[in-house]
Amino acid sequence: MLVSLKSILDIAESRGIAIGAFNVTTLEGIRSLVEAAEELDQPVIMQFANSAHRELISLEMIGPIMMYFAEDAKVPVCVHLDHGETFDEVRRALDLGFTGVMYDGSMLPFEQNAANSRVVVEMAEKCGASVEAEIGAMGREEFASVGDSGHEAVEAVYTDPDQAAKFVRETGVDCLACSFGTVHGIYMSEPHLDIPRVGEIHRKAGVPVVMHGGSGVSDDDYRAVIAEGVRKINYYTYSAKFAGDFVREKIAAAKGNIYFHDIAAWGAESMKDTYQKAIRVFSGLQ
């Protein structure tokens, strides 16, 4: 069942949980995500980061497949654009029927970011979609994408809670991606999260907090940030890495022919397992 980002975040807020927002780049990822969520009977956000993954597949190719699976799902699913960088990209996602869009103006000066985010809120409202925006900088430019070679270092700037409150008042966004110690991609050292900052942002800004760089974080840290108001956790890199590791093991152990569909199925098996482990922690199951 396709639902808006706002309605899925309302579920998270009322239950005091976070919803996993998993980036998809393949049919195997999409299918295994919906299966994982349905088996656990939990809502989920399925998102595509066109800015990072367009070399793997275009928004116009993957978008309708995401929509198909979301509409057919037995649990609430939001189809979301991750890290939209231009109005055109946002427009394209809304035209495909996406029910959530992120506008990422975090590299712009505050006023410009707020003005652009406001425009995106108006665009999305007309389509019944909801908006995520970002202030602060995560400290790493990209999560795992083609070739996974050069992650550019960007200096982390933690989100200021008073600025977050001002930003939400000026823009009317539904949720806010904030910087408090996570980074996109593989962690080079153990992350140390500024957990009280999450609580202060949540209280002052009055909207759900979104954690980017959400894969590779410990279960204790997930629970701690959820207790302080994180309601959407973006997750990609480690699910893709674990699937790659699993395929490597399977190939090493295999006897005889390996067909490409075997590789796709091993990847799907691993991703489903990773998604379920994450969803269990995010929704306080077990």
Residues engaged in binding ligand 13P (CB under 6 A): 23, 49, 82-83, 143, 184-185, 212-216, 234-237
- Residue 75 C-beta: closest distance to ligand 13P, Å: 21
Gap between the terminal Cα atoms of the chain: 25
**Smallest Cα–Cα separation from 126: which of 92, 102, 94, 89?**
94
The nearer residue to ligand 13P, 29 or 213, going by C-beta atoms, is: 213
The letter for the amino acid at 47 is Q
- Residue 187 C-beta: closest distance to ligand 13P, Å: 8
- Residue 237 C-beta: closest distance to ligand 13P, Å: 3
The H-or-E segment that residue 211 falls in is: strand 209-211
State how far the Cα of 100 lies from the Cα of 76, in Å rounded to an integer. 13
- Residue 226 C-beta: closest distance to ligand 13P, Å: 16
Q: What are the CA-CA distances from residue 138 to residues 27, 183, 191, 238 (Å)? A: 29, 5, 12, 17
Tokens 């306080």, located at residue: 284
What positions carry a catalytic annotation?
82
- Residue 254 C-beta: closest distance to ligand 13P, Å: 28
Q: What are the CA-CA distances from residue 145 to residues 47, 99, 160, 237, 238 (Å)? A: 14, 24, 29, 8, 12
| CB neighbour class for 152 (10 Å; exposed up to 12, middle 13-18, buried from 19) | exposed
Q: How far is CA 45 from the centre of its chain?
A: 7
The nearer residue to ligand 13P, 172 or 216, going by C-beta atoms, is: 216
The nearer residue to ligand 13P, 92 or 262, going by C-beta atoms, is: 92
The nearer residue to ligand 13P, 199 or 216, going by C-beta atoms, is: 216
Q: Which phi and psi (to 5°) does residue 106 adopt?
A: -65, -20
Question: What's the full length of the chain, in residues?
Answer: 286
